[in-house]
Structure formats: structure tokens, C-alpha cells
């Protein structure tokens, strides 16, 4: 468990907080490019690290992320006219470009025009792989963007998705680095005899209590969760935590697909999940591998429905099924063929992490050996925050974009094998592994 003081240190992200200051050292995925579909389109309200901001795409197609309140008299720039290279406040006509520079003060006479002295707070933005990235930190020259493979693929070979979660960023992220919950929350009703033998899924539902190995990395932490497989082998699920809020769960065969999840704090009690994944029809890394195993016919997979975005601060990428309707739980289904009665893996995760409350008090928890990765990640985050606060030490990965070139996934290894050495090449990004079938010698 954590003390209440350490829990607050990790979960509070607003301006001036230690964790918020740490996160501002990095480029942050703020919104999807598709939310600003064309030049001079409608602005979008964006809550990010506790700051209310307005995103807009100017006449040249550049994206701006600017303070909500007009520097003149505080009217919201969300109601502004997005026109001719800037956003114009409708209250008195003051106009600002994507850098925050004031372009026009039409209600001031020529002798009182001081627009060249005024700037709105604006954060630099770049677009890559369908995501708008912003830098909110103190550097005049921002650091490089993280070298995330799934965010740097050619057009047509990637997809990006977003969902808002109504809870603190850390409890959302911790659900992603907790592999033992999958055997219960997602697969609890699966009878091992229904699953094809010698597949990852069969091994997982035959033994729902894996053992763990956890190591620190240049970018964060990595775990290997292992359990018995075919004679003489262990099934390993290898996954990553990457500073400051990225995860790579072990969803596929190791080395065959790129994917990263971002758990971006909107504020202390709302999180924007942004998923970046490799796709592409016919791409060998994307096709289901036979070793992964198919869900049995009794397992019903439901794709969660996301509501149309509204213009509210928290109106983007909301689930149709949510706390207000108990996430659509079907008790009859739960009593028969479903462990939870909630449709879909992502929605099950949503339900349990939101059910903990907006910010869970971790001084009340009782951790076990299955929580070793969660414990390690908390320690890594706390150490990084304290070093930044006390010594000004730059957090991991800020100036080393190359450390993000990693993958996750499952693999069979012989009993007694050095799991780190045996998987080194398969964990490297930007490398094709057509020879990767099911195991390493």
C-alpha cells in the first residue's frame, strides 16, 4: 500500500503539482488529428493536466492549443471565430495565432495598439500517426518526441482509438500492468477444455496464478509473468511500462505487432486513453497467430460503443455503457456463460477501475505477490518525481527517444531459460520476425 501523502504525490497532476511538473517534461498526446478534420474547423475543448485549453486548426492546417480564457477580458476562446490564420475572440475581436501571438486588436485605436507586446499561453503542437502531440514544459526548445513504433508507421498500417475513463490516470494505468486479472475479469468463465490445447489462452485459463519476474528499464519497467505450458516449457507474458504513462500489454505473440497505450491525465479524476496499434490487411504482424488460441463459442465478445463527442470539457470519447447504467451488466448472462455479465474486455476494465472511485485511497489496499509490477512502477514514478523536485534530474526517456523502441507479447521458453536474454531481439521495435512461430530455443 501507499501512504496518503505518496498517493497524492502520484495522482495529482494539475499545474504546479510534482507529478504534473514531471509529465510536462514530455511531449503529451493531447487529441486525435481526426478531431480537427480540416482547416478553420470548429475548435475543441481539451482538458489536459488540469488545464482548460482550446484546440484549433488554422487556415494553413497547423494545430494550435491555446489557453481557454482570452487574455483581454477572459471570455472563452471556444466561442471564437477560427478564420484567416487565427482564432478571434467574439467579445472584442482580439485574434491569436497557433503560437499565441496576438494578431489583431480591432477595438483599440491605432495609437493604443499593443498587440506586439501580448501573447496568449499556447503550447507547440505536432502531428504524427493520427495523434496531435503537445509540449507543455519549460524548455524553449522541446525534447524529441518518444520513438514509439506504433505512432510512426506508414499511413494505412496503423489505427488510433480514444476512450475517456472517469477515474485517475494511475488506477487506469495500473489495470493495464496487472496481468493476473485477465484470468478472472476477462476469462473467468472459460472452461480450459473448451480451448484448443497448446495455445496461450489454454495455458492462461489452466493456471490463473502466474509467477512474476520484474526488472527496471531505461524507459520504466518490464515484467515477465510465467506459468507452465507444454512439457519442458513455460508460457511467458512480457509487458512494458514506459514513462510517464504508457503501457504495452502482452496482447500478441512477442515480436509480431507494435502497439502502445497512453493513459493521459485530463485532470485528477478523468483520463484519456489513446491506443496506437499496428494494423494493415495482410500484414504478418497483425494476423492472429495460431498459438494465441481462439475464444470458445460460448465466449461473447462485444465491441463497446462510444457516444458521439459533445463540446463539453469531458464530452469526448465517452462510453455508452457507463456507471449510470451499470455498464450494461446482464445478470442472467453472468449466471450462465459470462464471468462479469459486462460485454467486452475494455468495458470490463473500465467498470472495475472506475468503480474504485475518482482517486482510490491506496493506503487502504492489501497487496500480494501478483502486484509486484504495480509496486515497481509506483516506486519508479515516486523516485523520478522526487529526483526532479529535489535535484532537478530529468526523468527517464525525456531526452532518449530511442529507449521507447520496444515491444511486448507472449512466448514459450524452455524451463530455466534466461527470459531477458532469450527475448532480447523480439522485444526490439522496427524489426520483422517472420520466423517467429511459438518459441525460442
pLDDT, tens digit, 9 for 90 and up, residues 64-91: 999 999 999 999 999 999 999 999 999 9
Same domain, 68 and 175: no
Is the model's pLDDT at 439 over the cut of 80? no
**Omega before 116 within 30 of 0, i.e. cis:** no
Same domain, 174 and 119: no
Asked whether residue 409 is domain-assigned, the answer is yes
Asked whether residue 1 is domain-assigned, the answer is no
Count of domains forming the chain: 2
As a whole number of angstroms, the distance between CA 376 and CA 385 comes to: 14
> Residue 440's pLDDT band (boundaries 50, 70, 90)?
very low
| Half-sphere exposure at residue 194, Cβ-oriented, CA atoms within 13 angstroms | 13
- Domain residue limits at 318: 149-422
Is the model's pLDDT at 287 over the cut of 80? no
Record the cell numbers describing residue 125, joined without a space: 503542437
> Residue 434's pLDDT band (boundaries 50, 70, 90)?
low
Residue with cell string 463497446: 304
Length of the chain: 441
Q: How far is CA 256 from CA 178, 233, 240, in A?
A: 22, 20, 15
Largest CA distance in the chain: 86
Same domain, 68 and 176: no
Mention every residue, 6+ apart, whose C-beta is less than 8 A from residue 333.
Answer: 300, 341
pLDDT digits (tens, 9 = 90+) for 15-24: 999 999 999 9
> Average pLDDT, whole number, for the chain?
94
Q: How many CB atoms lie within 10 A of CB 408?
A: 24
Asked whether residue 429 is domain-assigned, the answer is no
Single pTM value for the model: 0.95
Is the model's pLDDT at 151 over the cut of 80? yes
Same domain, 175 and 308: yes
User: What is residue 382's predicted lDDT score, i.e. its pLDDT?
Assistant: 98
Q: What is the CATH number of the domain that holds 119?
A: 2.102.10.10
Record the cell numbers describing residue 297, joined without a space: 463459442
Q: For the chain, what percent of residues have pLDDT higher than 90?
A: 88
Record the cell numbers describing residue 170, joined without a space: 494511475
pLDDT mean over 155-165: 95
Q: Which of 135, 169, 193 is the last residue of a domain?
A: 135
Same domain, 356 and 389: yes
Amino acid at each position: 500500500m501507499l501512504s496518503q501523502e505518496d498517493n497524492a504525490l502520484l495522482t495529482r497532476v494539475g499545474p504546479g503539482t510534482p507529478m504534473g511538473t514531471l509529465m510536462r517534461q514530455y511531449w503529451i498526446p493531447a487529441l486525435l488529428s481526426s478531431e480537427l478534420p480540416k482547416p478553420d474547423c470548429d475548435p475543441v475543448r481539451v482538458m489536459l493536466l488540469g488545464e482548460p485549453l482550446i484546440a484549433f486548426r488554422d487556415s494553413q492546417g497547423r494545430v494550435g492549443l491555446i489557453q481557454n480564457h482570452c487574455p483581454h477580458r477572459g471570455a472563452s476562446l471556444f466561442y471564437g471565430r477560427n478564420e484567416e490564420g487565427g482564432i478571434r475572440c467574439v467579445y472584442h475581436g482580439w485574434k491569436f495565432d497557433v503560437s499565441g501571438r496576438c494578431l489583431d486588436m480591432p477595438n483599440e485605436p491605432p495609437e493604443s495598439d499593443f498587440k506586439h507586446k501580448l501573447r496568449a499561453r499556447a503550447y507547440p503542437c505536432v502531428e504524427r500517426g493520427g495523434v496531435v502531440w503537445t509540449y507543455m514544459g519549460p524548455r524553449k526548445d522541446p525534447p524529441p518526441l518518444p520513438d514509439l513504433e506504433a505512432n510512426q508507421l506508414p499511413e494505412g498500417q496503423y489505427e488510433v482509438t480514444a476512450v475517456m475513463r472517469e477515474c485517475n490516470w494511475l488506477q487506469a494505468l495500473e489495470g493495464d500492468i496487472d496481468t493476473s486479472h485477465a484470468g478472472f475479469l476477462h476469462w473467468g468463465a472459460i472452461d480450459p477444455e473448451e480451448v484448443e490445447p497448446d495455445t496461450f489462452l489454454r495455458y492462461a485459463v489452466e493456471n490463473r496464478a502466474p509467477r512474476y519476474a520484474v526488472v527496471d528499464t531505461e524507459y520504466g519497467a518490464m515484467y515477465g509473468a510465467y506459468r507452465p505450458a507444454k512439457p519442458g516449457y513455460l508460457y511467458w507474458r512480457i509487458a512494458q511500462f514506459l514513462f510517464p504513462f504508457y503501457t504495452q500489454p502482452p496482447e500478441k505473440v512477442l515480436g509480431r505487432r507494435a502497439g502502445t497505450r497512453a493513459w493521459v491525465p485530463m485532470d485528477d479524476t478523468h483520463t484519456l486513453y489513446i491506443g496506437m496499434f499496428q494494423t494493415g490487411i495482410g500484414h504478418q504482424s497483425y494476423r492472429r497467430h495460431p498459438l494465441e488460441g481462439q475464444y470458445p463459442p460460448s465466449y461473447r465478445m462485444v465491441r463497446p460503443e462510444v457516444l458521439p463527442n459533445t463540446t463539453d470539457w469531458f464530452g469526448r470519447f465517452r462510453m455508452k455503457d457507463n456507471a449510470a447504467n451499470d455498464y450494461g451488466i446482464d445478470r442472467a448472462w453472468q449466471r450462465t456463460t459470462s464471468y462479469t455479465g459486462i460485454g467486452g474486455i475494455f468495458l470490463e476494465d473500465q467498470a472495475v477501475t472506475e468503480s474504485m472511485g475518482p482517486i482510490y485511497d491506496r493506503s487502504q489496499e492489501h497487496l500480494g505477490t501478483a502486484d509486484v509490477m504495480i509496486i515497481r512502477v509506483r516506486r519508479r514514478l515516486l523516485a523520478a518525481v522526487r529526483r526532479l523536485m529535489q535535484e532537478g534530474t530529468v526523468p527517464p526517456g525525456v531526452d532518449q527517444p530511442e529507449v521507447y523502441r520496444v515491444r511486448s507479447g507472449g512466448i514459450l521458453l524452455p524451463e530455466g531459460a534466461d527470459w531477458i536474454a532469450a527475448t532480447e531481439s523480439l522485444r526490439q521495435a522496427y524489426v520483422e520476425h517472420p520466423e517467429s512461430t511459438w518459441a525460442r530455443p
